[in-house]
Amino acid sequence: MIDIQQLYRSNKEFRDSRLNSLFSDFSGLKESNPEGYMANLNAWKHFLSSVFNHGEMLSFNYTFLKKMLLYRTSRRDYLPEGLYIVLNDMINNDKSLILESTLNMHNESQRPGILLMLKNAFFGTNIIDVRNKQTSVETLLSVEVLENKCKVIKEKLFPILDSDALNLDHLRSILTESNIDISKHDLLLCLQYLQRDFDKLEISNDIVVMKNGDARREDESGEVVYEDLKHISDLSYTIYKLQKYGNEKIQEVSDIDKKLKKSLHEKNLIVAKTQLKLKKLHEIQINKTLNSLENLHTLKIKVEDAQNNLLISKVWKENTNVMKLLNQKAEVSDETFDELYREIQQTDHISNKLGTKFADPEDEAIDKELAELESQVIKQEIEEIQKKLDSLKLPTSKPLGEKGTQTANQKQQEVNEGGKKEDIETNKEAVLN
């Protein structure tokens, strides 16, 4: 709920020194004080914009809004006597507000006639005044809030409507699950506004459908068959509600089960017994719900089967009639058929003659020569493979690396040098002796 009093106090334009002017019927200022008139007008426009957007306020009427905007102070209450000036300007000039009755003007049947269009061209369109007895109670819409809501609705609902026809209650429930709070009436207004840009969007008797050429939804002329869709949409909504109810019950059983375990852990058997009984009752209810859901899903499938059968039988009948007409036009007498058969035989006889082979080599000789050529090719392949195998030299043991070979040579050299040194020493000793 919007706290209007708080919005007033937080807005600097609505200070005590300006309250008398803002809440008066300031229409006289337009001639005597144009600047003061525009200051009041703009102050109210900005304030109303914050009111509409702050509370996501989409639809209202002049009478309701005037009472809603009552400003209470410690000294007195202020009623916005000049509110009609602001609303009229927002409707006729800014186009930031529209009347609900203008939403469906996109339809051919609801567009103004040629005489009215000529009248408007010469004398101008009628200026809307919210003080009018009829207009004062007509629903006004904030275009900014309307377009914001339509953007969300298009994103959330259009993918679903492409495949199913649903009623308004079902669509509203889907939005509520996504934390989008909107009344059924405002949802309808948004969908009607979206029809301006989406001709395939159809609404009738609370049924919303997207025309996509589906023969199960539309008749031969492309018009939606709402009588059939109403039963299907009601069935879909019932399934949706039961599924939601079943999910809630399953969650309740889970919560009770946790409490039951806690009670058992705390040795509180009296409470645990009660919780166990509740759990059993909920489980029985869940089973009943699941059985009902199964039956409803089966019913929906059978309805869809019946629709498909109707389409198929229609196609069969139409094509049967077409085949009858074609066969009547293509009927051939026995004499024509016999003559055609004789000509076909004559054609085959001529083809056989023209297709006779000249003297060909005997097949046996051809097969023999082909086998010899194949044998030669295989022999050549074996010889090439043998040559490759012979060219490979496989080592008998693992060779030492370069570093290993160098180390062995060095050791042999050291042994040889040691031997030479021993021989020299032996010769020296022999000479001395």
CB 134 within 8 A of CB 51: no
Which pLDDT does position 335 carry in this prediction?
79
CB 217: neighbour CB atoms within 10 A? 22
pLDDT band at 296 (very low <50, low <70, confident <90, very high): very high
406 burial (CB, 10 Å; 0-12 / 13-18 / 19+) is exposed
CA–CA distance, 65 with 80 (Å, rounded to integer): 10
Rounded alpha-carbon distances, angstroms, from residue 236 to 17, 163, 322: 59, 12, 38
With H, G, I as helix, E, B as strand and everything else as coil, classify residue 97. strand
Rounded alpha-carbon distances, angstroms, from residue 234 to 12, 158, 209, 345: 51, 19, 13, 67
CA–CA distance, 244 with 249 (Å, rounded to integer): 9
Which pLDDT does position 124 carry in this prediction?
45
Which pLDDT does position 417 carry in this prediction?
57
Whether pLDDT at 370 is above 60: yes
CB 192 within 8 A of CB 203: yes
Which pLDDT does position 218 carry in this prediction?
56
Determine the average pLDDT of the residues in 228-253: 90
> How do residues 164-177 score in pLDDT, each as one tens digit?
889 999 999 999 99
CA–CA distance, 301 with 295 (Å, rounded to integer): 10
CB 111 within 8 A of CB 105: yes
Determine the average pLDDT of the residues in 64-68: 92
**DSSP H or E segment with residue 140:** strand 140-142
Determine the average pLDDT of the residues in 4-29: 93
Which pLDDT does position 116 carry in this prediction?
40
CA–CA distance, 298 with 292 (Å, rounded to integer): 10
Which pLDDT does position 214 carry in this prediction?
59
Which pLDDT does position 415 carry in this prediction?
52
> How do residues 177-227 score in pLDDT, each as one tens digit?
999 999 999 999 999 999 988 888 888 888 898 886 555 555 555 565 666
Determine the average pLDDT of the residues in 97-124: 55
pLDDT band at 416 (very low <50, low <70, confident <90, very high): low
190 burial (CB, 10 Å; 0-12 / 13-18 / 19+) is buried
Q: What percent of the chain has pLDDT over 70?
A: 77
DSSP states of 340-394: HHHHHHHHHHHHHHHT-------HHHHHHHHHHHHHHHHHHHHHHHHHHHHH---
More confident position, 64 or 413 = 64
DSSP strand pairing (201-204 vs 77-78) = unpaired
Which pLDDT does position 39 carry in this prediction?
95
CA–CA distance, 161 with 210 (Å, rounded to integer): 6
CB 22 within 8 A of CB 13: yes
CB 5: neighbour CB atoms within 10 A? 12
CA–CA distance, 36 with 47 (Å, rounded to integer): 17
pLDDT band at 380 (very low <50, low <70, confident <90, very high): confident
Q: How many residues does the structure list for the chain?
A: 433
Whether pLDDT at 118 is above 90: no
pLDDT band at 112 (very low <50, low <70, confident <90, very high): very low
CB 186: neighbour CB atoms within 10 A? 21
Q: What DSSP designation does 126 have?
A: P
CB 175 within 8 A of CB 187: yes
CA–CA distance, 15 with 264 (Å, rounded to integer): 63
pLDDT band at 115 (very low <50, low <70, confident <90, very high): very low
CB 319 within 8 A of CB 327: no
* Mean per-residue pLDDT over the chain, rounded: 81
DSSP states of 286-346: HHHHHHHHHHHHHHHHHHHHHHHHHHHHHHHHHHHHHHHHHHHHT---HHHHHHHHHHHHH
> How do residues 125-155 score in pLDDT, each as one tens digit?
568 899 988 888 889 999 999 999 999 999 9
- 117-121: long-range contacts at Cβ-Cβ below 8 A with a sequence spacing of 24 or more? none
By mean pLDDT, which of 5-9, 242-246, 324-328 is the weakest? 324-328
CB 43 within 8 A of CB 13: yes
Pair of tokens at residue 9: 């106090």
pLDDT band at 58 (very low <50, low <70, confident <90, very high): confident
Pair of tokens at residue 268: 């509180």
> How do residues 319-361 score in pLDDT, each as one tens digit?
887 787 777 777 666 777 778 788 888 888 888 877 665 555 5
